[in-house]
Structure 1
């Protein structure tokens, strides 16, 4: 009887002790920690995405144009211009350059109350036209003088030229002749050969025989047309 009462008592005590221990354990345990999540802040900046203006390339300066100077060593003899017919109009009085300038200055003075200003301008224009006409006539006169000397040179050479028997139509020889202001020949060269030695030699001999040509005393006219010129030799004719 005693043993049967002790066992249930011990079992009851153990069970109560276990329950009490569980209660105590749950009472003393700290409350669960709740993790706090901090918000994440992002710093943002507004960026201007406007395109950059394109830089226009500055045009490179053009290099200065090179001015080529051409010096003609040979002065060709130009054909004379057509001679103007003589005018039946009475000669007009010549005016000096100083008088023309004075009339032009008077005509350009707009503040001048002188009514003769318009008349002075008309007279100045008239005198300039007269001067231009006189210059044209002088140019024609110079051409006529040049042609006269050219004709004399052709005649002198033709009188001293003996065409070789081998000369044939179609042959051409061009000589370059150099003179001094007195008309004497200082040099003569074959610029273009005819292809026939005897024909070329006969042309050279013809110029050398003349030795001295008639040339204008006017130094400007001589330098322009007779200091150096070319001669064209053909069996059928002679041309300068």
Structure 2
């Protein structure tokens, strides 16, 4: 086993992730009510690490079903080493999300859900009504005029640290998710498979909930953008834990 085997698995994982990415893009386009492509790009970039993990998962399952992993294990090859190429291919596919977010063409505001901007009309006596966030004045006769630049009622959150943290989170997730998938699928101790699947499912749910919550609280300016990294770091810690247990069991 060598580079050719790793390259085969990497290509298979990347191809599966690409197909899944196309499907994800079609779903985004068909459900966003005609949103701009910049917002679509940011939403696609956010799920790119998951697409890479999906490519890795499918590739490993195919290799197991074909008996390729079992044959390599019979030759003394560590299961995690045997599917390393799948993790590499999935990571490469997931890193496409980093390229999209770092290109400057993605509107990262779509990842930070916020309430609609408040509209407050202020009475100015004979001058009529004025709305600062729109920069619009309506006089007593009903005439509408634009009075200066609009004031943002809610500050944007995707400048500076928030943008950098978002890119770092997607990049770290793109690298960690395929590794996490590989460690789980290649783990030994088949009798404990049911418990292992349940535990990994719970870890995945907690990681997803943490990421959603992090985007929410950062959007509300209640937490530092660094908290976006908590979710992929949890998966990284679980990956290290599974590798440690596999090493001890060997």
TM norm structure 2: 0.21
Per residue, is there more helix in 1 or in 2? 2
TM norm structure 1: 0.22
Per residue, is there more strand in 1 or in 2? 1
